[in-house]
Amino acid sequence: MDPVTLTITIARPPEEVFAYLADMANHQEFTDHFLVDWHLTREDTYGRGAGARFRVKQRFNRFAFGEATIIEIQPPRRLVMAGNGGRFNRVRTLSTWTFERGDAGGTRLQFVTESEPATPADRALEVLFRVRAFAKRRHAHALKRVRAILEEGGQRGAHATISGGARKPATGFRL
């Protein structure tokens, strides 16, 4: 899929917007309209290496599971996430968040996402399911939800859970 670029202005400082988006547990709050069944891949949800698995809610999508991991973090300017999805997780994805100081102390947030199908069949499925239009529409709505959450304290969705159950004896271990 060719890159999809979206831009939005948020009336909060870049440091605050960056801190919110660098925490992977917050991503379910604004993407729960099309990414569901979130499970975090580690206990530390902030920064490089934080990741999650989720299911993409799209009609007729047989290979709906995907994952994303933060691979690069440059506070408070840039955040890069890489992931996989599709059949056998062979479609690679890359998403980049860029933060610039805007007017009156706000933040100009630019989001770019793209995918790289591994086979001609994966490429055909992207065209058939209109993945680029789907991504553009859904991510535009997600950016509006980020702005509502950060500016107005808008309605937040549920937080993601850590996959695999209890991690420490005090968090659910029974004798």
Q: What's the structural domain count of the chain?
A: 1
Helix 120-128 to helix 131-152 angle (10° resolution) is 60
Gap between the terminal Cα atoms of the chain: 51
Lowest mean pLDDT among 3-7, 19-23, 149-153, 165-169: 165-169
Please compute the mean of the pLDDT values over residues 63-91 and round it to a whole number.
Answer: 92
Predicted confidence at residue 126, as pLDDT, reads 80
Q: Is residue 174 domain-resident?
A: no
Nearest residue to 28 via CA among 20, 38, 42, 18: 38
Predicted confidence at residue 166, as pLDDT, reads 58
Q: Is residue 54 domain-resident?
A: yes
Q: Is residue 15 domain-resident?
A: yes
CATH number, domain containing residue 79: 3.30.530.20
Please compute the mean of the pLDDT values over residues 64-73 and round it to a whole number.
Answer: 94
Measured between alpha carbons, how far is residue 110 from residues 66, 78, 107, 174 in Å? Answer: 22, 10, 9, 47
Please compute the mean of the pLDDT values over residues 59-64 and round it to a whole number.
Answer: 73
Task: Give the model's confidence band at 156: pLDDT under 50 very low, under 70 low, under 90 confident, else very high.
Answer: confident
Q: Are 67 and 55 in contact (CB under 8 A)?
A: no
Q: Is residue 133 domain-resident?
A: yes
Q: Is residue 169 domain-resident?
A: no
Q: Is residue 171 domain-resident?
A: no
Nearest residue to 36 via CA among 14, 61, 9, 11: 61
Q: Is residue 90 domain-resident?
A: yes
Predicted confidence at residue 164, as pLDDT, reads 65
Parent domain of 69:
4-164
Predicted confidence at residue 99, as pLDDT, reads 97
Q: Is residue 78 domain-resident?
A: yes
Please compute the mean of the pLDDT values over residues 72-78 and round it to a whole number.
Answer: 95
Predicted confidence at residue 140, as pLDDT, reads 96
Sign of torsion over alpha carbons 19, 102, 95, 37: positive
Question: Listing from the earlier edge strand, what are the strands of the sheet with 65-74?
Answer: 4-10, 107-116, 91-101, 78-85, 65-74, 51-56, 35-40, 161-162
Please compute the mean of the pLDDT values over residues 150-161 and round it to a whole number.
Answer: 75
